[in-house]
Amino acid sequence: MAATTRLLSRLALVTGGGSGIGRAVCQRFASEGALVVVADRDEEAANETLRSLSRDHKVQEHMAAVVDVSSKQSVENLVAIIQRRYFQPASVCVTTAGITHDDFLLRMEEEHFDKVVQVNLKGTFLVTQAVAAAMVASGVSKGSIVTVGSIVGKVGNIGQVNYSASKAGVQALTRTAAKELSRYGIRCNCVMPGFISTPMTDKVPEKVISKMTSLVPLGRMGEPAEVADVCSFLASDDSRYITGASVEVTGGLFIG
Ligand code: NAP
């Protein structure tokens, strides 16, 4: 997709911006004129994304920040840092920070269930709540929050009882947030990627990758940039009449 300027001067926070889909979202948003806050628990990774961002438009002062989305204190600090630096809250937020810790249901340790839910679901809650509160306090007129679910939150996946449950929760959280926040001019939508080539899926055994790929009607894994394109649409005014939606970016995987 050709770059546009539809996010010109929008301040965008991207959690998990240090890697994979989050990094691609940061790059896409910057190329469309946004000021990007790259937030990740991995500082060096966030800085690497920061260095890769385009600065073709005036006043594109991007920044990198460390955050642990599963910590309320850390998320609130991040929102405060953004306010101090830009004198306004982010009006766009994409919550890509996420983890996996796979195992079969019968072997899943409670600790690994809790950790994945804490980062993926509670982290999305904490970021959505803090960012929305800052938007409401500043009277933002065009807020857009894009959460990142997963197609497995809809259909389930062997070995991912924790992850699939957390992602189903993200989708439901997003629908509820959309209902509650529309009166404040804030839209909330969920992207549901299928099988995307990132460091997260690099951990998946080759055998599983080729089996999954064979099930994708478009015949290949997706690229992070293909998810970023959808996030950019949902962040921008081009989607101004869309809220509470879940958009599958799966190459047709599990369409039925
Ligand atoms: P990724 O390459 O592993 O990137 C995720 C980033 O989030 C990493 O930089 C990670 O840091 C960071 N992160 C993890 N826990 C965090 C925390 N508590 N606070 C702040 N940052 C944290 O994964 P990805 O494939 O791009 O996935 C991005 C999102 O898309 C995730 O929510 C994932 O569940 C979702 N998704 C991915 C796929 C796929 O096929 N790749 C499919 C569906 C949904 P560390 O590297 O230090 O962990």
Nearest residue by C-alpha to atom 26 in ligand 1: 20
pTM, 2 dp:
0.98
* Residue 256 placed within a domain: no
Ligand 1 center from residue 158 Cα (angstroms): 19
Residue 119 DSSP SS3: helix
Could you report the per-residue pLDDT of 114-161, keeping only the tens digit for each? 999 999 999 999 999 999 999 999 999 899 999 999 999 999 999 999
* Cα(173)–Cα(47) distance, integer angstroms: 30
* Residue 4 placed within a domain: no
* Residue 159 placed within a domain: yes
Output the domain CATH number for residue 178: 3.40.50.720
Task: Judge whether 232 and 171 are in contact, CB under 8 Å.
Answer: no
Could you report the per-residue pLDDT of 44-57, keeping only the tens digit for each? 999 999 999 998 87
Q: Which atom of ligand 1 is nearest to the CA of 70?
A: 18
Q: What pLDDT is stored for residue 3 in this prediction?
A: 63
Q: Give how far Cα 9 sits from Cα of 1, 80, 225, Å.
A: 20, 20, 21
In this predicted structure, which of 79-93, 174-188, 203-217 has the lowest mean pLDDT?
203-217
Segments forming the whole domain that contains residue 122? 11-249
Residue 235: partners with Cβ closer than 8 Å, 6 or more residues away: 7, 10, 12, 29, 34, 92, 94, 144, 146
* Residue 25 placed within a domain: yes
Structurally, the chain folds into a number of domains equal to 1
Ligand 1 residue neighbourhood (C-beta within 6 Å): 15-16, 18-22, 40-42, 45, 67-70, 96-99, 119, 123, 148, 150, 193, 195-196, 198-201
